[in-house]
Chain A
């Protein structure tokens, strides 16, 4: 069994490419992937910063070809606007231990654009849940993802990396402070919701922001958010009027195209007498058309911009990151041992089957010669079963343990040789006296 991961992320691809490869609903994609005979399990993670597919396979080469097809042909053609070969340079590939470590780092927000940000863990859980619901994940990936979640919890509780995400929100609030003099008289408009947006909103409120309007696709959801954040609720159809009133806009809504276009903003800004508009866009794909940057009064920042501005104590971050990496290594080692030990499973199964075959045939032959009643026969059956189990327990345990190390794989080979597991005419399989 091999683990294979293919993906694009903010490390390798610009936002314009990432947003085109974003997958809203992973279930159909996973369904199609698992139709391929080489793929046993799969999970697809698609967030604002990455689209990655992790699969368990018995045929690495076939699995690689299938995933390459997904990234280079299927996803681009679904998104449109990208030619097939264009994606190739952005896609990375990781195998086995590297793939495993990568997942642990992703779930722990070590690979995030804003290191330590809180959203990625929830997004990873959602991806796993979607795969589990449609039966795409099996026992191996189940266990790997559970390990990833517990690792993420350790990183959050044992390091201070999570504090870093609040600095992005603080940067947003400080930027707003360089545009506006007094927040108490300003009107904020929140389009959609998300943890980063909430953090930014909290930071703005700390600086005196009071008036808030919430717009969302559904009126019910908008009302719930408005109650949660203490604002008025609106539908997306009211955006033009809301934009005309707003001084700050915070957007994070899942839509496949910008909800705030330059045309919409030009119209909205017409009656504002040159009042500035501060826009934070955390959505992926972006909710605000970058073309609005040409409008003098509009100051737009997306996640890339904000993360790039985080003024942090580099030394402290590196120290915390190093601590987190140690945790990742420990957890990876634990899982790796378990995963590698899985290689012993077929051999152990074969050994058990071979011994059981011998026990059954010998027992059958002996019982035919003995005149035993039913209870006596059951007694002998149990006796031989217990003997076999006792004899096999120590060597099989040792075999499993040794198989956790790369060097221990020789034990598997020896066991297969000694028991003739790969022979057509195995020892002990023939006539015995």
Chain B
């Protein structure tokens, strides 16, 4: 039942992706709006699916990459839909929907083969750590996506290439603000995740310094703290902030993959 629900969610995200791609290539705002509506429907079912995930037997652990990927997609889509209410970010759906589809599709493939020996999901602290850090990462990914699009648009405008076809992509200002909001909220959630993880380590394990995962997260936190200072304190230009947000996320991904590989 839950797996079927996830498959429906993946299907809806796929429809949203196709509609968004068509809207983008045909410069058709109506199609982009259809994509957003489908994304909203998919997201509602996604939340429902996540809430009923524990009914699976065996329930997949929260550290399962499939579950994490799917959860991050859920948070990312939710954050995007929330931003869409305040900002003119319609064109971003052409990038968010495919990413959400890929995450949910590959995530749900692992549900049946989930390794129940991973981190158990019994304690509140573990839940808090994994969910907060993952939500933070999802928002930072969204901020990085906005930053990347900002850089592409900025480069095009600086090269005086003319207005984009159809004008579906959000304005630089909207992308910058979206990136800033995602960074601020994402960093806050990541901080809470790091703190809850730290408390967990203090209670149930020791922080030896050799644990790649913990070290990596401590470094990510410092890197993103620097990016927050750059954006909100050092008055850096929007382009510098976008570069920071993209570079930060690339570093984060490389670090996570590296730490997973090492462990």
Contact = CB atoms under 8 A, between A and B. Distances in A.
Interface of A: 171, 174-175, 177-182, 273-274, 276, 293, 296-297, 299, 301, 305, 308-309, 311
A6 B122 CA distance: 88
B158 A311 contact: no
Contacts of A175: 157, 162-163
A180 B163 contact: no
Given A178-B157, A178-B169, A296-B239, A308 B174 contact: no
Most chain B CB within 10 A, of A182, A276, A299, A301, is at: A276
Given A174-B167, A273-B235, A297-B238, A181 B160 contact: no
Interface string B151-186: 001100110111110010111111001000000000
B110 interface: no
Closest 5 CB pairs of A and B: A309-B162, A174-B163, A296-B237, A181-B174, A181-B173
A174 B164 CA distance: 9
A311 B237 contact: no
Interface in B162-221: 162-164, 167, 169-174, 177
B236 interface: yes
Contacts of A309: 160-163
Contacts of B153: 178
Nearest to A170: B163
A177 to B, nearest CB: 6
B240 interface: yes
Contact of A274 (B154, B164, B237): B237
B171 A296 contact: no
Given A174-B167, A296-B238, A299-B157, A181 B88 contact: yes
A181 B87 contact: yes
Given A171-B162, A274-B241, A309-B162, A181 B171 contact: yes
Contacts of A308: 160, 162
A311 B167 CA distance: 13
Contacts of B170: 181
B163 A179 contact: no
Nearest to B173: A181
Contact of B171 (A171, A180, A305, A311): A180
A276 B172 contact: yes
Given A171-B163, A308-B162, A311-B162, A179 B173 contact: yes
Contacts of B158: 293, 299
Given A180-B173, A181-B173, A274-B235, A296 B162 contact: no
Interface size class of B (residues with CB under 8 A): 20 to 34
A166 to B, nearest CB: 15
Nearest to B177: A181
A385 to B, nearest CB: 72
A299 B150 CA distance: 14
B235 A179 contact: no
Nearest to A270: B235
A175 B169 CA distance: 12
Contacts of B88: 181-182
Contact of B240 (A182, A296, A301, A311): A296
A182 B87 CA distance: 9
17 contacts: A177-B163, A178-B164, A179-B171, A179-B173, A180-B172, A180-B173, A181-B170, A181-B171, A274-B235, A274-B236, A276-B173, A276-B238, A305-B160, A309-B160, A309-B161, A311-B162, A311-B163
Most chain A CB within 10 A, of B160, B167, B169, B174, is at: B160
A308 B162 CA distance: 8
A80 B238 CA distance: 39
B160 to A, nearest CB: 5
Given A293-B158, A309-B162, A178 B237 contact: no
A309 B157 CA distance: 11
Contacts of A182: 88
A177 B167 CA distance: 8
Most chain A CB within 10 A, of B88, B161, B162, is at: B162
Nearest to A309: B162
Given A181-B87, A309-B163, 12 more contacts: A177-B163, A177-B171, A178-B157, A178-B167, A178-B172, A179-B157, A179-B171, A180-B172, A181-B170, A181-B173, A276-B172, A296-B154
Contacts of A305: 160
A279 B164 CA distance: 18
Contacts of B87: 181
Contacts of B163: 171, 174-175, 177-178, 309, 311
Most chain B CB within 10 A, of A181, A273, A301, is at: A181
Contacts of B157: 175, 178-179, 299
Nearest to B89: A181
A309 B162 CA distance: 5
A86 B126 CA distance: 75
Nearest to A173: B163
Contacts of B162: 171, 175, 308-309, 311
Most chain A CB within 10 A, of B153, B158, B169, B177, is at: B158
A299 B171 CA distance: 13
A301 B171 contact: no
A181 B176 CA distance: 10
B85 to A, nearest CB: 14
A178 B167 CA distance: 7
Contacts of A276: 172-173, 238
A259 B174 CA distance: 31
B152 to A, nearest CB: 12
B160 A301 contact: yes
Interface string B79-91: 0000000011000
Contacts of B236: 274
A23 B196 CA distance: 73
